[in-house]
Structure 1
Amino acid sequence: MSVIQVKGNVTYPITIDPSVWIFDDRKFPFENNQPVHSDVSAETQEHTLDPERVIREGRISPPTLKSEKRYEKERLMNGSFAMKLGAVLANAEPKESAVLCVFISESERTEVPLEKAMDATAHFSDAGKPLQDGGPVHFYVDGNFKKPITGVTEIEVL
């Protein structure tokens, strides 16, 4: 199954489809089972500056639309990506009384405090392809990138 139901102690039960996250601006690179955060703040700072000024000062080369599109397409086709689970769970609006998040798969239930679940990393793409083995998403909680929570079909907020 390629979608995950989010239900329980939430204002809006939702269905998430990780296959569309590739187009989400909140995604970030994820390589060798580790989030890649190198130069993310520098990239963000460059984008907040006036682009013409940055080009005039010689800090970046003037891009061409064609090369930008080709680079972005190659990055999406070959990259591995993840997102913070909290970015998605926030859409369901967990109620104030919610304290626990249960990841439910066919074979097990993994309980995680809601606060830690909101900060969990959701890995959804590897080498440009959706995760098949244990997918559609591998969840990493508490920065433990050795043992993901896999095969999740439902997330229940309690």
Structure 2
Amino acid sequence: MESIIPIKGAVKFNITLDPTVWIFDDRRIDLDDFFSGSYEYKDELEEYTKVTSAHWSREIIEGATFPPTLQTEKKYERTKVLTSTFGVELKQFILNAEPLQGATTLIIKTSEGDYSFSLDELDSLLLKFSHKGKPLREDGPVHILKKDGSNINDPIKHVTAFHIE
């Protein structure tokens, strides 16, 4: 199974996606939380500002030492990465490829057939890249899920490419 997925067609930039590195991506979404309803969208700039401000305040108050709480937070995050199910939003990758002016359709190519979506539907699609801490080797490298959960039990599998028309 090839783990690299190209985005090609009516785009300014042909790009390739490597789902094996997304586990380290800050944009990853815990799908267990997402589909249980406890997930909250976060503004990246706002989150960065909050983290930086908290770090700055901590250094002013406590000095430049590392309190023990940081070590426990790292351990929790490491455990979560090894046991959770994660995905990322598809829209950001398609927008980075910059679809051309007349492009209207996303075709998801799989080894089992093609699936077609309007580019207006990009907001509703997620790429699941791990299940309970393991990559999707048998039927992956990604599964396509709809954000409304309508295909959570029957996702689009065996994705080989994304084609923009």
Check whether the contact 1:11–1:93 (CA below 8 A) recurs between aligned residues: yes
Question: 1:104 corresponds to which letter in structure 2?
Answer: K
Q: Which has the higher helix share?
A: 2
CA deviation vs aligned residue, 1:27-69 (integer Å, no higher than 9, x gap):
111129x635525259x8887385359xx9xxxxx76221121
Which residue of the partner structure matches residue 159 of structure 2?
Answer: 152
For the pair 1:98 / 2:103, whether they are aligned, the reply is yes
Separation in structure 1 between the aligned mates of residue 68 and residue 103 of structure 2, nearest angstrom: 47
For residues 91 and 37 of structure 1, do their structure 2 counterparts lie closer, same or farther at Cα, with a shift above 3 Å needed?
farther
Separation in structure 2 between the aligned mates of residue 142 and residue 68 of structure 1, nearest angstrom: 29
Which residue of the partner structure matches residue 20 of structure 1?
Answer: 21
Measured after TM superposition, the shift of residue 71 of structure 1 is: 1.2
Measured after TM superposition, the shift of residue 147 of structure 1 is: 2.5
Query: Any idea what SS the aligned residue of 2:31 has?
Result: strand
Q: Which runs of 5+ in 2 are unaligned?
A: 62-66
Query: Any idea what SS the aligned residue of 1:64 has?
Result: helix
CA deviation vs aligned residue, 1:111-135 (integer Å, no higher than 9, x gap):
1111213430111111111112321
For the pair 1:140 / 2:141, whether they are aligned, the reply is no
Match of 1:127 among 126, 132, 135: 132
Question: 2:30 corresponds to which letter in structure 1?
Answer: P
For residues 12 and 41 of structure 1, do their structure 2 counterparts lie closer, same or farther at Cα, with a shift above 3 Å needed?
closer
TM normalised by structure 1 equals 0.81
Q: Aligned pair count?
A: 150
For residues 63 and 86 of structure 1, do their structure 2 counterparts lie closer, same or farther at Cα, with a shift above 3 Å needed?
farther
For residues 41 and 129 of structure 1, do their structure 2 counterparts lie closer, same or farther at Cα, with a shift above 3 Å needed?
same
For residues 82 and 142 of structure 1, do their structure 2 counterparts lie closer, same or farther at Cα, with a shift above 3 Å needed?
closer
Q: Which runs of 5+ in 1 are unaligned?
A: 57-61
Cα RMSD (Å) of the superposition?
Answer: 2.8
Which residue of the partner structure matches residue 93 of structure 2?
Answer: 88
Question: 2:156 corresponds to which letter in structure 1?
Answer: I
How much identity, in percent, do the aligned residues show?
A: 33
Check whether the contact 1:6–1:15 (CA below 8 A) recurs between aligned residues: yes
Which residue of the partner structure matches residue 117 of structure 2?
Answer: 112
Which residue of the partner structure matches residue 3 of structure 1?
Answer: 4
